[in-house]
């Protein structure tokens, strides 16, 4: 029998710990496929965050470094400056790269730091149990915005890829989603472009991926996808926001 | 060997480069700024990389990332900046990454002032960040020692896979003295097979310590604890001055140690048998320096540029056998040797 599809070599054999319906699993797979297709598994150094994806270090087949909350891009900077011949990526959530590590994110973009940052935005703090994130939408209920996020009090969500696309030094900024097979393919393409941007030495690449959190949103996986489409895709700027030639 | 006249901060930077330090990440802060300035000029010449970070926090995490790939890396700061770096220090210690961190101390708490102080003793030697850990802490008292200890710091960091802190104050950082640069060590150090360099031809590595299993957490903590116990007897450094026949002993490190040496001479002129123990490692605290003299001594006095921090470690060693007194200057002030002698005599009733 001819094998037409298999598990990518970019992932280890370890079973994911993610909740049912969480899209981290899809994002892990396409990221790992991108590493394999670009022949980066033996070259890449990944930086794991704090949060739900904190254990991604055991899932990716490449060398990984575990970072403190918000510091993955600084850690990635250190690794890349030490070993420019390696492809360095960070995998971070919205709180990590958009709140506690916002200075690191913007500064790396401004430096044109030649690394690739993957930003998984599910508009909530998943690991700690569903608190407000820098990307929580106005009116969205979380455990620390129980009456819905009130921009008058809690401020507005940050459109991080849009912000970064205006920073001189950023080379490839894309905002994608993994809600449909077509969008999954587009997201994978964006990841590959991000890595290629780095391999060509063009500077900072940042791929924002809208993601669901059925557990903390209190929705079924199918309803969560619908909520993402109706609320997040309409709020955040989507598409390739910057492509440096 | 030719002698060069150098500022303490620049001597540390030059010593680091001669020790094979390839990367420096830092954020300017008085009175340690000459270190990043020197590195920004000189690292390039040896094929290294200097990067001015957006914050102290980012700088120490860049150090963490670089060290995780197995290269020699350093950062430097001064007290308020060192406080910010504590997050990274804890992570470096947890993952057992070698790195050299320089703290040219200035007065606190808060923004404080720029004057010399040793009031970071607690936050440097007791871990400071979260969790159970100790970096090795080296305290020079001269610019030459800043050179020697910086070179040793890189070896100790690699040998024991641990962050090593050079703790000096603004006087030492800013002072110029003639120095010599010894040849870099050729110590046989362990191969860094744990480093993240790309998983080519070997199993992948994870440089991390995240675990949500309490049993694994306990195992990790006990492993670090065991390492601390291994380091303790092996790394203790100190200088004893006129302690052989001493009836009283001052314990003082760094700048206050240097001033106390003159105080010992002054007291001796008055016929008082005073001696000095100058700890060079603040962690591990040089307990061995006290071996064999506890029975001959009538009392100790800890002299510090703080309200009394190292005195707690002195008391632990002396263990109540004889009185332990304290004399200190705070907030950027330094004592004259005469003041130390006067306080010593008053506290031990020798007037």
Q: What is the pLDDT of residues B110-150, one digit of tens each?
A: 999 999 999 999 999 998 899 999 999 999 999 999 999 99
| Cα distance between residue B343 and residue A241, in whole Å | 69
Q: Is B71's CB within 8 Å of A82's CB?
A: yes
Res. B229: pLDDT tops 80: yes
Domain with residues A24-243, CATH architecture: 3-Layer(aba) Sandwich (3.40)
Res. A245: pLDDT tops 90: no
- CATH 3.40.50.920 domain locations along chain B: 239-347
Nearest CB among A68, A81, A82 relative to B87 is that of A68
A170-177 and A88-93 beta bridge pairing:
unpaired
Which residue from B minimizes the CA distance to A41? Answer: B199
Query: Which pLDDT score, from 0 to 100, does residue B212 have?
Result: 83
Q: Is B68's CB within 8 Å of A78's CB?
A: yes
Interface probe for B, chosen from A9, A42, A53, A65 (most Cβ of B below 10 Å), is A65
pLDDT tens, residue by residue, A145-183: 999 999 999 999 999 999 999 999 999 999 999 999 999
Q: Which residues of A touch B63 (CB under 8 A)?
A: 78
Query: Which pLDDT score, from 0 to 100, does residue B11 have?
Result: 98
What count of residues does chain B have?
351
Query: Which pLDDT score, from 0 to 100, does residue B83 have?
Result: 97
Query: Which pLDDT score, from 0 to 100, does residue A164 have?
Result: 98
Average of per-residue pLDDT across A37-58: 96
Query: Which pLDDT score, from 0 to 100, does residue B337 have?
Result: 98
What ipTM score was computed for the predicted complex, to two decimals?
0.97
Q: Report how far apart, in Å, the C-alpha atoms of A53 and of each of A69, B85, B256 are.
A: 11, 24, 49
Domain ranges of chain A: 24-243
Confidence of residue B344 (pLDDT cuts 50, 70, 90): very high
B4-190+206-235 to CATH, choices 2.70.150.10, 3.40.50.740, 3.40.50.970, 2.60.40.740: 3.40.50.970
Q: Is the dihedral of CA B301, B307, B310, B312 positive or negative?
A: positive
Interface of A with B in 83-142 (CB under 8 A): 83, 86, 103-104, 107
Confidence of residue B185 (pLDDT cuts 50, 70, 90): confident
Confidence of residue B210 (pLDDT cuts 50, 70, 90): confident
Query: Which pLDDT score, from 0 to 100, does residue A17 have?
Result: 94
Comparing C-alpha atoms, which of A55, A50, A47 is closest to residue A25?
A55
Q: Is A104's CB within 8 Å of B49's CB?
A: no
Q: Is the dihedral of CA A9, A10, A14, A15 positive or negative?
A: negative
Average pLDDT across chain A, whole number: 97
Q: Is B69's CB within 8 Å of A82's CB?
A: yes
Q: Is A78's CB within 8 Å of B88's CB?
A: no
Question: Residue by residue, what is the 3-state secondary structure of chain B?
Answer: CCCEEEEHHHHHHHHHHHCCCCEEEECCCCCCCHHHHHHHHHHHHHCCEEEECCCHHHHHHHHHHHHCCCCCEEEEECHHHHHHHHHHHHHHHHHCCCEEEEEEEECCCCCCCCCECCCCHHHHHCCCCCCCCCCEEECCCCHHHHHHHHHHHHHHHHHHCCEEEEEEEHHHHHCEEEECCCCCCCCCCCCCCCCCCCCCCCCCCEECCCCCCHHHHHHHHHHHHHHHHHHHHHHCCEEEECCCCCCEEEECCHHHHHHHHHHHHHHHHCCCCEEEEEECEEECCCHHHHCCCCCCCCEEEEEECCCCCCHHHHHHHHCCCCCEEEEECCCCCCCCHHHHHHHHHHHCCCC
What count of residues does chain A have?
245
Res. B183: pLDDT tops 90: no
Q: Is A71's CB within 8 Å of B49's CB?
A: no
Residue B302: what are its φ and ψ, rounded to 5°?
A: -90, 125
Q: Which residues of A touch B73 (CB under 8 A)?
A: 78, 82
- CATH 3.40.50.970 domain locations along chain B: 4-190+206-235
How much is the CA Rg of chain A, to the nearest whole Å?
17
Query: Which pLDDT score, from 0 to 100, does residue B22 have?
Result: 95
Query: Which pLDDT score, from 0 to 100, does residue B292 have?
Result: 87
Query: Which pLDDT score, from 0 to 100, does residue B211 have?
Result: 83
Nearest CB among A48, A79, A104 relative to B69 is that of A79
pLDDT tens, residue by residue, B64-81: 999 999 999 999 999 999
Average pLDDT across chain B, whole number: 96
pLDDT tens, residue by residue, A194-225: 999 999 999 999 999 999 999 999 999 999 99
Q: Are B27 and B85 in contact (CB under 8 A)?
A: no
Average of per-residue pLDDT across B168-183: 96
pLDDT tens, residue by residue, B24-67: 999 999 999 999 999 999 999 999 999 999 999 999 999 999 99
Nearest CB among A42, A48, A54 relative to B199 is that of A42
CA B166 to chain CA centroid, Å, is 3
Average of per-residue pLDDT across A18-22: 95
Residue with tokens 């220090």, as numbered in its chain: B89
pLDDT tens, residue by residue, B261-291: 999 999 999 999 999 999 999 999 999 999 9
CA distance to partner chain B, nearest, from residue A234 (Å): 33
Using DSSP's 3-state secondary structure scheme, residue A101 falls into: coil
Res. A97: pLDDT tops 80: yes
Query: Which pLDDT score, from 0 to 100, does residue B2 have?
Result: 87
B239-347 CATH fold? Rossmann fold (3.40.50)
Residue B36: what are its φ and ψ, rounded to 5°?
A: -60, -35
CA B113 to chain CA centroid, Å, is 21
Give percent above pLDDT 90 in chain B: 95
A88-93 and A116-121 beta bridge pairing:
parallel
Q: Report how far apart, in Å, the C-alpha atoms of A188 and of each of A3, A117, B38, B92, B127 are.
A: 22, 14, 44, 34, 43
Q: Which residues of B touch A45 (CB under 8 A)?
A: 69, 196-198
Q: Which residues of B touch A50 (CB under 8 A)?
A: 210
Interface probe for B, chosen from A36, A55, A56, A63 (most Cβ of B below 10 Å), is A63
Query: Which pLDDT score, from 0 to 100, does residue B186 have?
Result: 76
Residue with tokens 């940050």, as numbered in its chain: A158
Nearest CB among B61, B62, B206 relative to A57 is that of B206
Query: Which pLDDT score, from 0 to 100, does residue A93 have?
Result: 97
User: Does residue A71 belong to the interface with chain B, where contact is any CB pair within 8 Å?
Assistant: yes
Average of per-residue pLDDT across B164-172: 97
Q: Is A66's CB within 8 Å of B207's CB?
A: yes
Query: Which pLDDT score, from 0 to 100, does residue B184 have?
Result: 77
């Amino acid at each position: 029998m001819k094998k037409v599809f298999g598990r990518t070599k970019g992932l280890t054999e370890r079973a994911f710990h993610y909740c049912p319906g969480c899209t981290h699993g899809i994002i892990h797979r396409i990221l790992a496929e991108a590493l394999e297709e670009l022949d980066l598994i033996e070259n890449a150094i990944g930086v794991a965050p704090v949060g739900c994806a904190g254990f991604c270090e055991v899932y990716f087949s490449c060398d990984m470094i575990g970072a403190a909350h918000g510091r993955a891009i600084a850690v990635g900077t250190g690794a890349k400056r030490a070993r420019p011949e390696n492809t360095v990526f960070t995998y971070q959530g919205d709180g990590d790269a958009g709140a506690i590590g916002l200075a690191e994110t913007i500064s790396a973009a401004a430096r044109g730091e030649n690394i690739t940052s993957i930003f998984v935005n599910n508009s909530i703090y998943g690991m700690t149990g569903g608190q407000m994130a820098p990307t929580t939408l106005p009116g969205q209920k979380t455990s620390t915005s129980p009456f819905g996020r009130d921009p008058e009090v809690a401020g507005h969500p940050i459109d991080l890829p849009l912000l970064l696309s205006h920073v001189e030094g950023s080379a490839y900024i894309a905002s994608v989603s993994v809600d449909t097979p077509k969008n999954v393919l587009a997201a994978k393409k964006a990841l590959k472009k991000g890595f290629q941007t780095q391999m060509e030495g063009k500077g900072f690449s940042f791929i924002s991926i809208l993601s669901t959190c059925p557990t903390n949103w209190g929705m079924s996986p199918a309803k969560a996808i619908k909520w993402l489409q109706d609320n997040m895709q309409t709020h955040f700027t989507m598409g390739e926001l910057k492509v440096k030639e | 060997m030719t002698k060069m006249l150098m500022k303490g901060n620049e001597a540390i930077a030059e010593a680091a480069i001669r020790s094979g330090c390839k990367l420096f990440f830092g954020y300017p802060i008085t009175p340690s700024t000459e270190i990043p300035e020197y590195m920004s000029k000189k690292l390039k010449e040896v094929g290294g990389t200097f990067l001015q970070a957006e914050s102290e926090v980012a700088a120490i995490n860049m150090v963490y990332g670089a060290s995780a790939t197995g290269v020699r890396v350093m950062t430097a700061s001064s007290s308020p900046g060192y406080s910010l770096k504590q997050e990274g220090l804890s992570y470096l210690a947890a993952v057992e990454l070698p790195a050299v961190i320089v703290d040219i101390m200035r007065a606190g708490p808060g923004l404080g002032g720029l004057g010399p102080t040793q009031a970071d003793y607690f936050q440097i030697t007791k871990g400071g960040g979260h969790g159970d850990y100790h970096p090795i802490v080296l305290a020079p008292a001269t610019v030459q020692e800043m050179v020697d200890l910086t070179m040793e710091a890189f070896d100790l960091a690699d040998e024991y896979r641990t962050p090593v802190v050079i703790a000096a104050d603004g006087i030492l950082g800013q002072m110029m003295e003639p120095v010599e640069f010894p040849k870099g060590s050729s110590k046989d150090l362990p191969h860094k097979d744990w480093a993240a360099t790309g998983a080519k031809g070997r199993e992948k590595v994870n440089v991390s310590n995240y675990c949500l299993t309490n049993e694994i957490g306990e195992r990790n903590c006990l492993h670090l604890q065991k390492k601390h116990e291994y380091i303790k007897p092996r790394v203790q450094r100190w200088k004893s001055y006129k302690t052989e026949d001493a009836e009283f002993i001052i314990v003082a490190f760094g700048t206050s140690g240097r001033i106390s040496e003159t105080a010992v001479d002054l007291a001796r002129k008055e016929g008082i048998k005073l001696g000095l123990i100058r700890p060079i490692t603040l962690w591990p605290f040089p307990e061995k320096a006290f071996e064999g003299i506890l029975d001959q001594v009538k009392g100790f006095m800890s002299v510090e540029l703080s309200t009394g921090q190292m005195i707690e470690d002195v008391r632990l060693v002396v263990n109540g056998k004889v009185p332990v007194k304290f004399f200190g200057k705070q907030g950027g002030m330094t004592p004259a040797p005469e003041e130390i002698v006067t306080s010593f005599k008053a506290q031990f009733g020798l007037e």
